[in-house]
């Protein structure tokens, strides 16, 4: 089992920045990749960004490319999502996720095995 705990959400004005953290514990050596998703009220859970440990590759949704950056700290078993130039449409609950195997669908929520509880990000316009 892998446990994921997000933090760093909050209220920020449009144009501002936030950094989300996802601390992983448990069988962290079994993770193949970790990612961030978000879900706004009444909408589906959408892919935001992912980091593949094995291929050292990153993926971003087009809507956040150039504004968000995913990174990791191996020593702390923590993945970060730096969010800059935030917009009102970025408002959502942000979830950290981990998967234990490769996939040709790294942007699909059902490719991930473990999820955090989510952290709210609200961007005021």
Give the per-residue pLDDT at 55. Answer: 75
Q: Do strands 119-124 and 10-13 pair parallel, antiparallel, or not at all (unpaired)? A: parallel
Q: How many Cβ atoms are within 10 Å of 23's Cβ, its own excluded?
A: 17
Q: Residues 84, 15: contact at Cβ < 8 Å?
A: no
Phi (first) and psi of residue 62, to 5 degrees: -60, -30
Q: What is the pLDDT along the chain (125 residues), one digit of tens a residue?
A: 899 999 999 999 999 999 999 999 888 777 889 999 999 999 999 999 998 877 788 999 999 999 999 998 888 889 999 999 999 999 999 999 999 988 899 999 999 999 999 999 999 98
Give the C-alpha distances (Å, rounded to integers) separating 14 from 25, 82, 87, 90.
Answer: 33, 15, 5, 9
Q: Which residues contact 51 (CB under 8 A, 6 or more apart)?
A: 33, 34, 35, 57, 58, 70, 71, 72, 79
Buried b (16+ CB within 10 A) or exposed e, 78-89: bbbbebeebeee
């Amino acid at each position: 089992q892998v446990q994921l705990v997000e933090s760093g959400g909050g209220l920020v004005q449009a144009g501002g920045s936030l950094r989300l953290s996802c601390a992983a514990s448990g069988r962290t050596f079994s993770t193949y990749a970790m990612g961030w998703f978000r879900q706004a009220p009444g909408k589906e859970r959408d892919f935001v960004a992912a980091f593949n440990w094995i291929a050292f590759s990153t993926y971003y949704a087009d809507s956040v490319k150039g504004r968000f950056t995913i990174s990791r700290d191996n020593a702390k078993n923590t993945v970060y999502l730096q969010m800059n130039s935030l917009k009102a449409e970025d408002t959502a609950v942000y979830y950290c996720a981990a998967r234990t195997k490769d996939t040709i669908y790294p942007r699909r929520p059902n490719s991930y095995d473990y999820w955090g509880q989510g952290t709210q990000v609200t961007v005021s316009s």
